[in-house]
Structure 1
Amino acid sequence: MTDRPTRIGVQLSPQHVTMQQTIDAARRLEEMGVDAVFGWDHFFPLTGDPDGAHFEATTQLAAWAASTERVQLGPLVFCNSYRNPDLLADVARTIDHISNGRFIFGIGSGWFERDYLEYGYDFGTVGSRLNDLAAALPRIRARWERLNPPPVGAMPILIGGKGEQKTLPMVAEHADIWHSFVGPDELPHKLDVLRRACEARGRDIAEIEVSNGASVRDGVGGVGFDRLDALHAVGTRLFTIPLSGDDTPDGYDLERVESFLRWRDGKDA
């Protein structure tokens, strides 16, 4: 894990903003040199006006794929509950072709109850949603093998979550990237659990990139990277900053990203 390059992602939440602003932000972040641009898979804003402007994930990601050239992109994360797994596999494969092989297939079990209730999905329980995800992942991978054409290359699978009984075994079985918000004190234990799960499946944990959610509070004014330094020291290599469409009156505050890029470049200098 630790010989991987340090990478910076940015999650552009599609809320309180126009579609063109999201596209322009994705293009600008690519120009700035970020490594990945992520969306999310919700139907309503998570902060601010709960009925404010908002856009759907798959079609937005397709627009980003057509509007950029180099940056990786994907959802952080698709909700498994909202789509038939075979259909979702086909959607991801299609966006992967639009992007010429830059798509990261991020997926999780879902959690935001309003999305389920208003769109008519069964909310179930945490356990039932995780069980559904475990059943869906083999179907998704099998569908990629049958599609004509298949994905451009080996599409990375990102799985979000930290549960030791269900999520981390799924990461060990299927994921190329493991994303969480686990802090630096807890992360070594979680990595030990993941390592054992990988060994039980004949995998090397080094095959999995460790990803973590950063905070815009980190790095303000070019300082305050203690938490990220500690996460980096125990193996995290992908750090993703959340930006919202209501960060400023004009939309996303992209200037916040600059200090993270300088921090990244110093890590791998």
Structure 2
Amino acid sequence: MQRTYAGNMLLDTPVRLGVQIPPQHVTYPQIRDAVLWLEDFGVDIVFNWDHFFPLFGDPDGPHFESWTMLGAWAEQTERVEFGALVNCNSYRNADLQADMARTVDHISAKGTGVGRFIFGTGSGWFEKDYVEYGYDFGTVGSRLNDLEPSLERIEARWSKLNPAPTRKIPVMIGGKGEQKTLRLVARHADIWHSFVSAEELPHKLGVLQEWAQKEGRDTANLVVSNELARRTTEDADALYDAGVRMFTLSLPGPDWDFHLVKNWLAWRDAKNS
């Protein structure tokens, strides 16, 4: 196969579809069933998010915690990859995050011996989470500054744990900031996730490539990820042409729009044919 690149990003990797289930305004049995349906439909990845309160709708409505749920998903699923879109670095000690990720990785390695967990992470942004749970909110800059040493500690802890993770756990970092976030992506990430438009993406990839060169990083296997919510197939085609190979779709419940998921799965399959 001819290897095709955008900048230095490998493009001959298959398109994958991830579906995010917001853990709000639903019961846990409804979430559990939705995950099983999505796996049966053939989605590649299932995500939740790492917050303590709903992000839309009734701000005090029902809501469930991320990592506890990921442990259950690791056990109940057989094929899909899974993770948070994204974990908040502020809420947990970095070495604890590494150990939690390693453990969930092992739980999910049923039958194959290879885990399916994706470690999506970010610096946090939802002030209510911080205030209500007693964390220091700080500033955008201070939270990003905290993320870098945490990633270094997480990677170091993975190298020390016994047993080790079953595989190199993929790290996904979200955001588009050119001075800090994209530098962290160049240094640490296997997947870069953002909401940038197809028109903006070439510039961001250029900045990312500049950081990668400074870091001595080969980005050939870096996967570019973007969001499908409120986007058309024409938008998705443009993102694909710009280099995106992982697409995520937020799917609020309890009235899950599985018809929408099936449409995007058909689009994915056409791209991979």
Question: Structure 1-normalised TM-score?
Answer: 0.95
Q: After TM superposition, give the deviation of residue 244 of structure 1 in Å.
A: 1.2
Counterparts of 1:117-266 in structure 2, within 5 Å, are 117-215=131-229, 217-218=230-231, 224-246=232-254, 248=255, 252-266=256-270
Identity of aligned residues (%): 61
- Matched with 1:268 is 272
For 1:112-147, what per-residue CA distance to the aligned partner results, in whole angstroms no more than 9, with x for missing partners?
A: 000000000000000000000011000000011111
Structure 2 unmatched runs, 5+: 1-9, 110-114
* DSSP-derived class of the 2:117 partner: coil
Q: Does 1:73 align with 2:82?
A: yes
- Matched with 2:54 is 45
Q: Is the 8 A contact 1:158 1:179 kept in 2?
A: yes
Look up the equivalent residue of 2:266 and give its one-letter code.
R
* DSSP-derived class of the 1:121 partner: coil
- Matched with 1:108 is 122
Structure 1 unmatched runs, 5+: 219-223
Q: Is the 8 A contact 1:116 1:123 kept in 2?
A: yes
* DSSP-derived class of the 2:163 partner: coil
Look up the equivalent residue of 1:255 and give its one-letter code.
H
Q: After TM superposition, give the deviation of residue 255 of structure 1 in Å.
A: 2.2
Look up the equivalent residue of 1:110 and give its one-letter code.
G
Q: Is the 8 A contact 1:168 1:197 kept in 2?
A: yes
Distance in 2 (CA, whole Å) between partners of 1:38 and 1:264 is 18
Distance in 2 (CA, whole Å) between partners of 1:59 and 1:166 is 30
- Matched with 1:36 is 45
Q: Does 1:6 align with 2:10?
A: no
For 1:222-255, what per-residue CA distance to the aligned partner results, in whole angstroms no more than 9, with x for missing partners?
A: xx31111000001000000001124x2xxx2222
| Larger deviation, residues 199-208 vs 258-267 | 199-208
Alignment size in residue pairs: 259
* DSSP-derived class of the 1:47 partner: coil
Q: Is the 8 A contact 1:159 1:171 kept in 2?
A: yes
Q: Is the 8 A contact 1:172 1:197 kept in 2?
A: yes
Look up the equivalent residue of 1:232 and give its one-letter code.
Y
- Matched with 1:221 is none
Q: After TM superposition, give the deviation of residue 30 of structure 1 in Å.
A: 0.8
Question: Structure 2-normalised TM-score?
Answer: 0.93
Q: Is the 8 A contact 1:194 1:205 kept in 2?
A: no
* DSSP-derived class of the 2:224 partner: strand
